[in-house]
Structure 1
Amino acid sequence: MAGARFRAGPALTALTLPAGPLTGPLTGLLGGSFNPAHGGHRRISLFARAALGLDEVWWLVSPGNVLKPAAGMAPLAARLASAQAMSRNAPIRATAIEQELGTRFTVDTLRAIRRRFPRRRFVWIMGADNLAQFQRWKDWRGIAREMPIAVIARPGYDAAALASPAMAWLRRWRQRPGQFVSGARRSAPALTILRFDPDDRSASAIRAADPEWASRIPVARLRDAVTHRPIGRGKS
C-alpha cells in the first residue's frame, strides 16, 4: 500500500548480532525476476535491512525462474537495469551473478555465492508467497541448512505459508525475540518472520499497465553491481 508506514514490532528486535569473531559483512539475499523491479522491492529490502541489522541487500536478478513461465519475461539486461535504477542511493546492490555462476536452482546459487564470498555472512530473504510453496523448490531443506531465512509477510499468503509443509518442518527453528542469527552457516537452520504494513505493488500489475516498459530501459554500459562485469543486451 503506497504511503504505508512500517510497524515496529517484536520481529524488529528478533535478530541482533552479538559481539564475537563473526564480523564479516552481513548481507541479505533477495532473489526474483524483477520483471520489472519496483518500489515494493525497495521498501521490503530496506525494512528487512533495518529489522535484521544487515549491512546491505543484494537483489539476485534471475536469468529465469523455473517456477514461472518464460512468456512475458523481459531480457535480463532490462530487468537488471530496472533493479539498479530502483535501488539507487540505497544500500542495495542489483546483480545478475546467477548467470555468471551458471546455476539454475536457488540452492546451487546460494552454495556458489558462499564459496565465492567466504568472508561474508548471508541471510536468505523471501516473501510469504514463496514459503507457501517452498516445498516445491529443489532441496529446500538444503537451502534452510545453508543460511538463515527471513520471511516477509505478504497479503493473501500468510495463512498458506504458516500451514505449508515447509513451515511444519521449519517451525522448530523459528526465532523468538531476543534470539539472534549470525548469518553464518553454523547458525542455520533459523527462521524469522517479519511483519509490516502490506505493500500491494506488483510487477504483474506494472506489466499489465505498461507492456512495453522494457523497451524504454537504457542498458548501454550496464555493469553488474556485485561482479562489476558488463551485462549484454541478450534475452537470457
Structure 2
Amino acid sequence: MRCELPVAAAGQTVGLLGGSFDPPHEGHVRITREALRRFGLDRIWWLVSPGNPLKSQGPAPMDRRMGAAQEMMRHPRVTVTDIEARIGTRYTAQTIAKLQHLYPGVRFVWLMGADNLATFHHWDRWQEIFETVPIGVLARPGGHVSARCSVAAERYGKFLLRGRKGRLLPRKKAPCWCFLNVPMVNLSSTEIRARGDWVR
C-alpha cells in the first residue's frame, strides 16, 4: 500500500511526525490534531519509517503499517506517507535535508512527543536537526520531567518558544522549539504490542 509523494506548495508549513507506527494509535491522532491547531500548520505528514535505527527488532511490514495508519488518521490536511523508504533515508537529519531539497520554499517543522525529546541526544546528528528546522514537542503522559531536563532541552533552552506563542513556531528560524502540554491518550505502541493487540 505505497502512496505517491505528498504534495506541498512553496510557502506552506508542514509538520513532520516520524515513527514506525507499529502500530498507529489514538495517541498519534491526538498529537496530530493538537499540532495542526496549536502550531497553526497547513499540513502534517506522518512519515512511516522503514525502521527505527535505535531499536534492535524490526517493525511490522511497511504495507501493513501504512494501511493501519491510513485507516487510523483520516483528516484532509494529514498525509500518511512512506517517503523515507522512497527517497532512501534512514535517519531524521538525512530525511529533513532531502525533503528541503525536494520541496524548496516549504517550511518544515519536526514534531515529536516529549518522550522522544528525553532521548533526542542519542539521535544521529541531533544538533543539526535542532539547527535546521523548528521543533514542536507535545507532552505525553510521563514524559514531562525527563524531557524538560534532557540534554537537548538544556542545550537549546534559550531558544524555547513559550507555548502560548506556538502558532509562531513554523515561521521562526531554527534553532527554535516549543513545548506544549496537551491532553493526551495514555497509549503507546509498545503497550499495544505487549497486550497482543498487534502482532508483527
TM tier, smaller: 0.7 to 0.9
Deviation readout 1:14-36 (Å, 9 max, x if unpaired): xxxxxxxxx71111100000001
Deviation readout 1:157-193 (Å, 9 max, x if unpaired): 2111111111111111001344723446xx1100100
1:174 paired residue number: 160
SS at match of 2:178: strand
Is the aligned partner of 1:196 residue 2:182?
yes
Measured after TM superposition, the shift of residue 210 of structure 1 is: 3.5
CA distance in 2, matches of 1:68, 1:33: 10
In the TM superposition, structure 1's runs of 4+ consecutive aligned residues that sit over 4 Å from their partners are 211-214
SS at match of 2:23: coil
CA distance in 2, matches of 1:51, 1:45: 10
Aligned pairs for 1:26-41 (under 5 A) are 26-41=13-28
CA distance in 1, matches of 2:197, 2:143: 26
SS at match of 2:56: coil
1:93 paired residue number: 79
With the length of structure 2 as denominator, give the TM-score of the two structures: 0.88
Measured after TM superposition, the shift of residue 38 of structure 1 is: 1.2
Measured after TM superposition, the shift of residue 124 of structure 1 is: 0.4
1:147 paired residue number: 133
CA distance in 2, matches of 1:52, 1:166: 21
Contact 1:61 1:96 in 2 (8 A): yes
1:42 paired residue number: 29
Instruction: Kindly report the root-mean-square deviation, in angstroms, between the aligned alpha carbons of the 2 structures.
Output: 1.9
SS at match of 1:27: strand
Query: Cα gap change, 1:175/1:209 in structure 2, threshold over 3 Å: closer, same or farther?
Result: same
SS at match of 2:169: coil
Contact 1:173 1:191 in 2 (8 A): yes
2:150 paired residue number: 164
Aligned pairs for 1:80-159 (under 5 A) are 80-159=66-145
CA distance in 1, matches of 2:182, 2:76: 20
Higher RCO (Cα < 8 Å, 6 or more apart): 1
Deviation readout 1:185-226 (Å, 9 max, x if unpaired): xx1100100111231122122223345556xxxxxxxxxxxx
Deviation readout 1:95-127 (Å, 9 max, x if unpaired): 111011111111001110111111211110011
Q: What amino acid is the match of 1:45?
A: T
1:74 paired residue number: 60
Return 132-141 or 173-182, whichever deviates more.
173-182
* Structure 2 stretches lacking a partner, 5+ long: 1-9
Is the aligned partner of 1:52 residue 2:39?
yes
With the length of structure 1 as denominator, give the TM-score of the two structures: 0.75
The number of residues matched between the two structures is: 190
Contact 1:147 1:183 in 2 (8 A): no
Percent of aligned positions with the same letter in both sequences?
A: 41
* Structure whose CA Rg is larger: 1
Contact 1:123 1:183 in 2 (8 A): no
CA distance in 2, matches of 1:119, 1:101: 19
Return 160-169 or 174-183, whichever deviates more.
174-183
